[in-house]
Amino acid sequence: DDGSGSRAAGAQGGDEGPADGFDPGAPPPFGLADIRAAIPKHCWVKDPWRSMGYVVRDVVVVLALAAAAARLDSWLAWPVYWAAQGTMFWALFVLGHDCGHGSFSNNAKLNSVVGHILHSSILVPYNGW
């Protein structure tokens, strides 16, 4: 022991590395093209109607959670509400973020309008994302 508190690399001693041969610093054995090829083709199709359906669904859930919390108005219900509503606000963020990347639809104006509305509703700047 050199007194520095460090040990040699490798669990068995020596410098041969981990027993399973995995090197976290090495590049993966696949490329970006391999990942894209593994994703089914239908996942690359942008459907604005489906995307808007997700927006409507998530907004309805947000409003329903707010109505339920106001109706119950219980100290036992509020922590559950905070966690559930936080999750749904994250869902709105993700949809707005997708608009910014252009993966919501092929229509740039629709992406911009929906993204601004969604991010404004959760007080997050749209253009920054």
Q: What is the pLDDT of residues 19-53, one digit of tens each?
A: 678 889 999 999 999 999 999 999 889 999 999 99
- The tally of CA atoms less than 13 A away on the side-chain side of residue 55 is 23
Residues in Cβ contact with 119 at an 8 Å cutoff, skipping those fewer than 6 apart = 92, 93, 96, 125, 126, 129
Query: pTM for this structure?
Result: 0.73
pLDDT score recorded for residue 115: 97
Q: What angle do CA 89, 95, 99 make, to 5 degrees?
A: 140
pLDDT in tens, 63-121: 999 999 999 999 999 999 999 999 999 999 999 999 999 999 999 999 999 999 999 99
DSSP state of 28: P
pLDDT of residue 22: 86
Indicate the pLDDT class of residue 9, thresholds 50, 70 and 90: very low
Say what the pLDDT of residue 15 is.
54
Distances in Å between the Cα of 44 and the Cα atoms of 74, 81, 102 are 44, 34, 12
pLDDT band at residue 11, thresholds of 50, 70 and 90?
A: very low
DSSP codes joined into one string, 57-89:
HHHHHHHHHHHHHHHH--TTHHHHHHHHHHHHH
